[in-house]
Chains A and B, each alone.
Chain A
Amino acid sequence: MMSSATLTRTETITTAKARGPRRSHVPGQKPFGPLRVVAFIVLALMAIGWLLPFLWAVATAFKTETDAASGDPGWIGASGPTIEAFTAILSQGNVYTWALNSLLTSVAITLITLTISALAAYAFSRLDFTGRKWLFVVIIASIVVPPQVLIIPLFYEMLAFNLVDTYWGLILPQVVAPAMVFILKRFFDAIPIELEDAARVDGAGRLRIFWSIVLPLSRPILASVAIFVFIGAWNNFLWPFLVINDTTLMTLPVGLQTVISAYGVQYAQVMAQAVLAALPLIVIFIIFQKQIVKGVATSGFGGQ
């Protein structure tokens, strides 16, 4: 029933929207004008400045504890590079448990957030029901509530539900993301309604339309939202820090934090830890750079 003409048009619209305007160079500029060289040098210096702290951490992680504590500013310690600090960290076992906890809870938070937000966003975008307008206003207004303000009542609630020191106590309070509902609704609004009309003529129900027409067309925005929610959950500190006391249930950021105080003087090991914890996110960034960059733009401006 869908005419191929409509389909092609929609595809162009959605892909164009997804990619956004891009320009490879600023037109009307000489490729190597003097101003461009200066700009390049300034940019390179800033980039080095921004990479240095992390490179120092990496350099320290490859030193022996004695070299790290010696205060010698060299990149390589007097005893030469070593992976001692990494093996010491990885032989402790807790790091694996924490990484696994972080992965499990972050994936769960991402999947639940995405599912419930997309369903609600579809209802706000396409369905007609009593109270639609004011309910949407309430949800948008709740974006201003800082999660930090709710730690006391939320902790109290987790105590009442017996969820303190459980995965669910960690996950559930993090799945409500009103901003994501707003971002998804705005994207669904831009999908031409004709596509759904055709499917409805064929007798498809709302859930089918949502699943087989709307979601596939929304892949780019879903990917952005998912990456964003995942990174937020992976790095969240305050809530996991409050709700988890059991060492075996801690997430990576909370677990690592307990270790600093335990051996604060072992610089090489602390830096090896920091580098190991940073690694997965650097890999994610290198793989998904385009989606992340676009996700920041859409999610950031979503607050408008």
Chain B
Amino acid sequence: MTAATDSTRTIVTGSKAIPRDRRPGSRNREQLVSWAFLAPFLIAFALFLVWPIIHGIILSFTDQSLTGAGGAFVGFANYAEALSDPKMWQSMGNTVWFTLLSTVPLVLIALVMAALVDRGLPGQWLWRLSFFMPYLLASTVISQIWVWIFNPQVGAANNILKALGLEPIAWLQNPDTNMLSIVIATVWWTVGFNFLLYLAAMQNIPPQQYEAASLDGAGPWRQFWSITLPQLGPATVLILILQILASLKLFDQAYQMLGGVASDTTRSIVQYIYEAGFVSYRFGYSAAISYVFFALIVIIGVAQALIMRGKKEQQL
């Protein structure tokens, strides 16, 4: 490698321009070097991302089974079935419902946490540990902890309800409350990520602005509303996008907290993809649902991009 690029020596110009040898062949050499640097990533990218995307589309037009049977071209049959499959729409609805229920507290609580920690109160290390630590735990661990807390007979959640004089609830076993239970566990688990994003955004605000405001007699409350909050716009948009995309991918904790049992009120779209492919062995059908889900994510992404562009133009 060293020998190959030897000829690209150049005289120091002191300018910012990329030094480039003008002798013929050096450009070809740079091409070669470039592709050598790119090759390991590109091979992995092609094998484990690009090809699966293409192959998934091909599979979605076949009746391929996990057992190896099938594989005949069936046209749009899988997509037609998916769009008229009540279970598909139900899991799509559950996913959207979970996203709505989880996104609001995950953004608001994170904002409150960050605003309080950003005041520079003593114990910074402890606040960060308490709020962010759950995010580092595996879905298995948090599921085990919350299944225990939500245990209808001896769990801590019902102990609290009893202490407050309320009726105990069969949290995860009751179809009316199982989605709510998953939302509570998820908020506890992942709010720390948004909290750190908000905290980083708040710490980017120049301290001089607060100094000037406090000279003008603005208290902390006023400072938060007129300095901090208005400058969190871009961070909030980003956190919202990341949160919605993350919530739409619900599977791990919902699947494990219900012990792998499929519940009509919590089955997410990713869980339905899993069930169609790995429980019913219908790879072709599962691939088709995957792309319906992907389409939903792209539509939401494009909508968000359009809204953001609209906002930017308004500002200009």
The chain A residue sitting closest to B277, CB to CB, is A152
**In contact, B49 and A145 (Cβ under 8 angstroms):** yes
Contacts A73-B156, A200-B10, A234-B138 hold; do A205 and B298 have CB atoms under 8 A apart? no
Q: A150-B52, A152-B290 are in contact. Are A127 and B149 (CB under 8 A)?
A: no
Does B263 reach chain A (CB closer than 8 Å)?
Answer: no
Distance in Å: Cβ of A192 to nearest Cβ of chain B:
9
Bound CA–CA A66/B140 (angstroms): 24
The reply to whether the CB of A216 lies closer than 8 angstroms to some CB of chain B is: no
How far apart sit A33 and B119, CA to CA, in the bound complex (Å)? 12
Q: Say yes or no: B48 contacts A172, CB within 8 Å.
A: yes
The answer to whether A16 has its CB under 8 Å from any CB of chain B is no
Once the chains bind, are B214 and A257 in contact (CB under 8 Å)?
Answer: no
We find that the number of chain B residues with CB closer than 8 angstroms to chain A is 122
- A56:B129 contact, CB within 8 angstroms: no
Interface string of B219-254 (1 = CB under 8 A from A): 111010000000000000010011001001101100
A80 CB within 8 Å of chain B: no
Q: Quick check: B9 and A282 within 8 Å, CB to CB?
A: no
Which residues of A sit under 8 angstroms from B147, Cβ to Cβ?
A: 260
CB of A213 within 8 A of chain B?
Answer: no
Tell me whether B45 and A139 are in contact (CB under 8 A). yes
Partner of A285, one of B53, B129, B214, B290: B129
Contacts of A24 in B (CB 8 A): 120
Q: Are B290 and A149 interface neighbours, CB within 8 A?
A: yes
**Contacting A205 at CB < 8 Å: which of B5, B151, B214?**
B5
Of B11-19, B83-91, B171-179, which binds chain A?
B11-19
Stretch from A83-91, A118-126, A218-226 at the B interface: A118-126
- What are 22 A-B contacts defined by CB distance under 8 Å? A27-B210, A43-B123, A46-B112, A46-B131, A53-B188, A54-B145, A73-B159, A127-B30, A127-B33, A127-B34, A142-B49, A149-B291, A150-B49, A151-B273, A205-B1, A206-B5, A253-B138, A261-B259, A277-B141, A289-B128, A289-B129, A303-B241
Nearest-CB residue, chain A, relative to B159: A73
Measured CA separation A178–B290 after assembly (Å): 21
Complex contact B213–A21 (CB within 8 A): no
- In the complex, A289→B220 CA distance in Å? 28
6 further A-B contacts with Cβ under 8 Å, apart from A123-B37, A270-B148, are A35-B220, A43-B117, A46-B116, A56-B156, A112-B44, A151-B277
CA distance A273 to B147 in the complex (A): 14
Contact B133 A282 (CB under 8 A): yes
In the complex, what's the smallest C-beta–C-beta distance from A124 to chain B, in angstroms? 8
Are A274 and B141 within 8 A (Cβ)?
yes
User: What does the 1/0 interface line of A249-288 toward B look like (CB < 8 Å)?
Assistant: 0001110110011001001001101100110011011100
Q: Which of B2, B49, B51, B153 contacts A207 (CB 8 A)?
A: B2
Q: Check A274–B145 contact: CB distance below 8 A.
A: yes
Min CB–CB distance A140 → chain B (angstroms) = 12
Q: Contact string, A54-71, partner B, CB cutoff 8 A, digits 1/0?
A: 101100100000001111
